[in-house]
Amino acid sequence: MADSVQNDNDPATATEGQPEFRSRRDRRRAQDDARTGTMPIVSADPSDQGTASGGLIQSSSWAAAAAAADATDAESGPEEGTTADGNPTPAADAAVVDDPGMETAAEGSRSAERTALRSAPMPDFISSPGSFVKEQKPRPVGGFRGALYRLTGGAWNLGPSAKQRQEDELARRISRQLQGSFNTAILSLKGGIGKTSTTVGVGLTLAEYRGDPPCAIDANPDSGDLVERALGEGIYQRSTPRTITDLLGNLESIDSLTGLSRYMHHAGRLHLIAGEQDPEVSDSLTAAEYLKIRQLISSYYSVALTDCGTGVTHNAMKGILQSADNLIIAAGYAVSGAKRARSTLHWLASHGYEELARNAIVVITDKDEVSTRVDKSAIEEHLSGICRQLIAVPHDRGVADGDLVTLDVLRPETRRAYKEIAAAIVDGYV
């Protein structure tokens, strides 16, 4: 039988008897690995660590490989002339820094900073999306800042002015989201001092800035004209003049906002329930009937305004005050108007409504443009100490003529006053 032919390609036989050759080959491979900077490979199985050839650890994860390399460096100790974290020792750096104590303190500070950076959680797009986007400065709207912004195409943005920031803050307060349904009653002891115009102006302002439309209820027993002031006399007369009395007669059959809307009027996004115009019927609304209407409204509206008319003793007033979350007391700059506003607050406080009186908002409307003989500041000071907030509405023909109230024709000062009232109302809800 012929002798078997030895395979020259077998590494074990090719290098047999050549220890010097094998030693040089192994050293050359080790040097090549060092020159190419090959990352040590970490094994996914901890039990295999240190068992691979050359003591290397096998893994496909760069993070695990880096962690293994750090662990290997820690086990082997610091290099000569360096500290445990790889920084030069004070002795090695003495030629650069004359004061060893200062160098030690600096190294300690840098080491503490690195430790803090390593331990701090890294932001991500889910938990901290704002960390990856530069915050944009708000855009100026009017004035010199707005003109400069428009002329430069946004390259020069000085930001909003102090006045614009105040306006934006009022808008933010008005538009806050509410949990539940709230009701504000507007009342006075004297007629003709801006109670209904305040209800319309504030209602339109709430409708402009809030995401959900508000509702205004005319509960004036003296043939109130809330809807006429919001729509205009001509439009109201041409529409189907359904009133609060019609709503009461069909209350049990209403089970949706669509059904309720048949008994309402709309001035833009402000929804209104008209008061009864027949004098023989208008004063018949009772407290229990008003509470039924209020309960129905609360199912569909988060903000309701109730125009109460003059007086605090008519039939529905007990139900209105019982369901009110805050009050607006209408007053004027005439001495009689200021006295009656104060009397209203005293009456409320002495009849079980102390909290409503304490948190009331007194609105002084300069409806008749009183003469200079009237000391407006004295009247304001007289009323401000007995309520939560006092707001003055300046004289404006869009309010004083007793006709249609629209925000477009009002003076900027008047619109701002209504915004302040609306913001104060929502403040009382949250």
Whether the predicted pLDDT of 243 surpasses 60 = yes
Domains and CATH numbers, the chain: 139-148+155-174 (no CATH), 178-427 (3.40.50.300)
Determine the Cα–Cα distance for residues 244 and 297; give it in Å rounded to an integer. 12
Which range of 8-12, 55-59, 278-282 scores highest in mean pLDDT? It is: 278-282
Higher per-residue pLDDT: 28 or 263? 263
Which range of 21-35, 185-199, 297-311 scores highest in mean pLDDT? It is: 297-311
Name the amino acid, one letter, at 400.
A
pLDDT number for residue 63: 60
> What confidence tens digit (pLDDT) does each residue in 377-411 have?
888 888 888 899 999 999 998 887 778 899 999 99
Q: Which of 194, 225, 222 is nearest to 314 (CA)?
A: 222
Higher per-residue pLDDT: 305 or 50? 305
Determine the Cα–Cα distance for residues 219 and 204; give it in Å rounded to an integer. 18
Q: What is the pTM of this model?
A: 0.67
Whether the predicted pLDDT of 214 surpasses 90 = yes
Angle in degrees, CA 184, 186, 187, rounded to 5: 140
* In contact, 216 and 199? CB cutoff 8 Å: yes
Strand 326-332 to strand 182-188: parallel, antiparallel, or no bridges (unpaired)? parallel
